[in-house]
Amino acid sequence: MGPVAAVIILVTVLITSFISGIFGMAGGIIFMGVLTSLVSVAMAMMIHGAVQMVSNGYRAFLWRRHINWTVFRRYALGSVGAVLLLFALSWRPDKQMVYLMLGLVTLLVWLPKRVADLDIQKPFQAEGAGFVVQALNTVAGVAGPLLDQFFVRTDLTRHEIVATKAITQVLAHFVKIIFWSVPVLMTAGVEALPPAWLILLAAPLSMLGTTLGGKVLDRMSDVNFKRGMKYLVTAVGIVMFIKAVGWL
């Protein structure tokens, strides 16, 4: 990895963690798109997973009193099934497929309520969210808009939404790191893993961006929070589709 790519990655970490600190999503999609354009898919997944674990973990710590632990425990139970299925299939996408999946994921913010009445607080829906979100996050790198569909119709506050989503994503990205790093370690060894110095530099930038984003979140209303999140994610999705067809 060259110095220019490293600088771009670190700057992107700061910007996208700020965005995620506000909306709890969108930043991860942007970061995944940038990484995929700079390094191999496996390297991108591992770097993204490590940085997002720090970002989401720190965000969960900041808002820890707002975490709905009942929802998280049920979500984690559902994710177990996804993990077993993914390791059994062992399918890993190429760059164009990653861009396409990222674009498709963003369209989920427009899913009408009459099509799928999702609410993570309802019976069995947290378990279902754990299964489908974990599966998509592992192969596409990001599943925030899908996870968001399970939260937008709950009676949770914006702080509870961001905090609970953050802790579920710590688990999701941990699984993603394992899924993508195991074959790399088996074929190329430790030397093929992301450089430790990059993760060490990215961690404080992620925490800084998350802290700054949290200050903006405090000043937003719940209505503006949900509306702004939808249009931001849509704009990002358009860019991902453009990259998927090779126009950018």
In terms of residue numbers, what domain contains 67? 3-244
Place of tokens 């969108």: 26
8 A C-beta contact, residue 165 and residue 24: yes
What helix, strand, coil percent values describe the chain, rounded to 5? 80, 0, 20
Element (H, E) at 156: none
8 A C-beta contact, residue 55 and residue 20: yes
8 A C-beta contact, residue 203 and residue 14: no
Tell me what pLDDT residue 223 has.
63
Find the helix packing angle between 3-23 and 41-62, rounded to 10°: 40
- Smallest Cα–Cα separation from 26: which of 10, 12, 45, 38? 12
- Smallest Cα–Cα separation from 50: which of 141, 135, 140, 144? 141
Task: Give the chain's domain count.
Answer: 1
Q: How far apart are alpha carbons 181 and 194 in whole angstroms? A: 10
Q: How far apart are alpha carbons 47 and 40 in whole angstroms? A: 11
Place of tokens 């808002």: 63
Tell me what pLDDT residue 248 has.
67
Q: Burial code of 99-111, b = ≥16 C-beta within 10 A, e = fewer?
A: bbbbbbbbebbee
8 A C-beta contact, residue 201 and residue 10: yes
**Can you give the pTM of this predicted structure?**
0.86
Distance from CA of residue 111 to its chain's centroid? Answer: 19
Q: How far apart are alpha carbons 213 and 153 in whole angstroms? A: 23
Q: How far apart are alpha carbons 63 and 138 in whole angstroms? A: 25
Place of tokens 């019976």: 123
In terms of phi and psi (left: phi > 0; alpha: psi -120 to 50; beta: otherwise), the region of 94 is beta
pLDDT digit string (tens) for the chain, length 248 residues: 788 999 999 999 999 888 877 776 678 888 999 999 999 999 999 999 998 888 889 889 988 999 999 999 999 999 999 999 998 888 889 899 999 998 888 887 777 766 667 889 898 999 999 999 999 999 988 887 788 788 877 888 888 988 999 999 999 999 999 999 999 999 888 888 999 999 999 989 988 988 888 788 777 776 666 666 777 878 888 989 998 988 76
Query: What does the radius of gyration of the chain's CA atoms come to, in whole angstroms?
Result: 17
Condensed to tens digits (0 to 9), the pLDDT of residues 42-81 reads 999 999 999 888 888 988 998 899 999 999 999 999 999 9
